[in-house]
Structure 1
């Protein structure tokens, strides 16, 4: 079974990161992705104050101390969205690699380390707009707007136990990637056409289409600090506390803007460079707190609160809101030691989250609400197949906005084993 899991994980690695389409991903760096693993998704995206022995905690590096096994995790995400608004409707689906991480103990119980890749943001949209050209009667402008790309986080995290109950951690992240945006602009003139005595208006193309192309690439380092504390209530009951802090940090990059004259068939006739300059996008200061009550190998209930100072971050040309996120979740194992019932040894989870996003559209802040479910199916040893499902709603269908209703399905593989241990006996 472990060979099967390893094969599935390698197949994930050869894939590409998922970039689900969202109309709102034209804002800033795009749609911001949850920085947890599949098991966190199933528990409502809770993780700051919820340590686990069997999975990698990518939300709070201090909790890595609990990884006394070598742990490998990979996950695939499938995203399906429907859009609704005034005179707007549609659907889209996409999927690909979403989670990848490896954790290993250096001094078991005292120091554990982890590396991995997680998509930080994704850009994928295709919208159309039509308007009259100011000062010219009968001429209309149609814009075909597209965007794709996103940023990826490569992280190296370490967790340390200080004395007995106190934990500290640090995560260094290298954020990199590129975002390509373009707008193809077409001009049409409305003319009257008389056919068999009937008069109708038809659109006639004027001149060649013009494309506006913007390519931004980013790469820079940032750091996040984590703290943890476990209070023992009894032999099997614990209260877990966690906190994270990430200072405001610059994300440096380069921007290239070009104008392209197109043929009526869409081919490029001429490209005119407009600008090529260094840019900076400030990633916000983030602070988070989490807490959970745990009955060992039976159940866990927890919540997270996280706030980011986007109001003083971003880029100077665009304003953002301060954002916050609230996540609540629980997990339950009917009977961890029941060797006769597979389903009683399965871990079930559920939760919900509410996220006020930093982006402003039509002078309104965007919100994202989700309800999550999950299950960790045990396989050989301490490994598992992790399944999660999320139903969510982004935006609204009134006030000039568009409501996105989406469904996410996560399929993950977790391999736990004692690797790199020298044999004492043959």
Structure 2
């Protein structure tokens, strides 16, 4: 167990957090990432009102109280996208570390804690355009090459508490940090005009603290069947940072001639007020079906005069374990999951709101003890091909590992 734990930590130290390669990640802070674990990806990304004792709940900190084991989770994701639009097509594939968390009971049944890292947003795009300079009579052309990379990461610390027999509360503290580098290279030239190249480079770096609060309630129907309720709230929170702008003159061959540091300014991006509710019906170690709704008040968030939509995400999913105690059939002990989700994104492109729809599947394969190998797959579509937009069809494959054990407990007998 110790060798496995050390090996997983080494993967974190030498790896990198996966970045989404969405062409729409030029907006705001980039593509916003789901804040759940690999098992949540498999069940449609529900988790606010769906507690589990086998995995870490990062969506509602109140549900951590059900983690009676010391639980370590890690996962990687491979993201493949196909782009289509008017006279446009392309594809891209990226992958890497995506999930890392550790949860443990402090006072079993009364107080559990968790910490880890989850990517909050991802920026990875490259757009290219060319055309005539207006007013030049077709003698001068302009080429623009726009690129962006980076993103923000949440280092979180969550705590869940049972304050009454069935009532739970929790708080997740996020330290959100990271940087976003955007460059735009403009080339202007013509038949009787030498080519002039200029690169505008902007580096935004953010770091600040924000909070997510959660509550949970379980209503017992029978000894092994329950109805669970959950709710989360995150207040509007400023994310402070700095912006550095540079101008770079390039030769016709692309080599750097001169760099002008324009200067550094303080910037603030207001993270939106967020409300979430969830409900699930659960038969212990057999099946669960749940639904989440999450709304974000982006209309009053962001920075400057940029306009955003209030966003809404609806997730529906479930899990099924055919026979948890069956010692003769391995596949009957596997937990199968599936679900779907619809997300109205906050970003507006060409005066049109973006939507993201996904269908999810997953399985948790039991291994030694109470640990598991967690697999998930998501097929989704983002955007559309009308109104000058681009449709992204994407496929995500998630491979995760969950280690459950009773650590930090002194043995009474050797």
Q: Scaled by the length of structure 2, what TM-score is found?
A: 0.97
Residue 205 of structure 1: how far off its partner (Å): 6.7
Aligned to 1:196: none
Correspondence 1:54-203 to 2 at 5 A: 54-137=54-137, 138-189=139-190, 191=191
Residues 1:239 and 1:321: Cα distance change in structure 2 (over 3 Å)? same
Aligned to 1:33: 33
Matched, 1:21 2:21: yes
Matched, 1:322 2:310: yes
Deviations 1:161-192 (A, max 9, x none): 01110000001100000000001101132x4x
Q: What is the CA RMSD across the aligned residues, in angstroms?
A: 1.3
Paired residue secondary structure (2:64)? helix
In structure 2, which of residues 199, 215, 218 is the aligned counterpart of residue 230 of structure 1?
Answer: 218
Gaps of 5+ in 2: none
> Bigger shift: 170-179 or 264-273?
264-273
Aligned to 1:194: none
Gaps of 5+ in 1: 192-203
Residue 390 of structure 1: how far off its partner (Å): 0.1
Partners of 2:193 and 2:379 lie apart in 1 by: 43
Residue 11 of structure 1: how far off its partner (Å): 2.5
Residue 132 of structure 1: how far off its partner (Å): 2.2
Partners of 2:56 and 2:96 lie apart in 1 by: 20
Deviations 1:335-380 (A, max 9, x none): 0000111100000000000000000000000000000000000001
Correspondence 1:253-402 to 2 at 5 A: 253-402=241-390
CA contact (8 A) 1:9 1:413 kept: no
Residue 275 of structure 1: how far off its partner (Å): 3.1
CA contact (8 A) 1:70 1:102 kept: yes
Matched, 1:405 2:407: no
Q: Scaled by the length of structure 1, what TM-score is found?
A: 0.95
Partners of 1:12 and 1:408 lie apart in 2 by: 20
Residue 135 of structure 1: how far off its partner (Å): 2.1
Partners of 1:206 and 1:184 lie apart in 2 by: 16
CA contact (8 A) 1:175 1:220 kept: yes
Partners of 2:316 and 2:255 lie apart in 1 by: 51
> Bigger shift: 207-216 or 409-418?
207-216
Moved over 6 A (4+): none
Deviations 1:277-329 (A, max 9, x none): 00000000000000000011110000000000000000123111100100000
Deviations 1:214-273 (A, max 9, x none): 100000000110000000000111000000000000000000111110122222111112
Residues 1:348 and 1:10: Cα distance change in structure 2 (over 3 Å)? farther
Residue 140 of structure 1: how far off its partner (Å): 1.5
Residue 124 of structure 1: how far off its partner (Å): 0.3
Aligned to 1:200: none
Partners of 1:305 and 1:17 lie apart in 2 by: 27
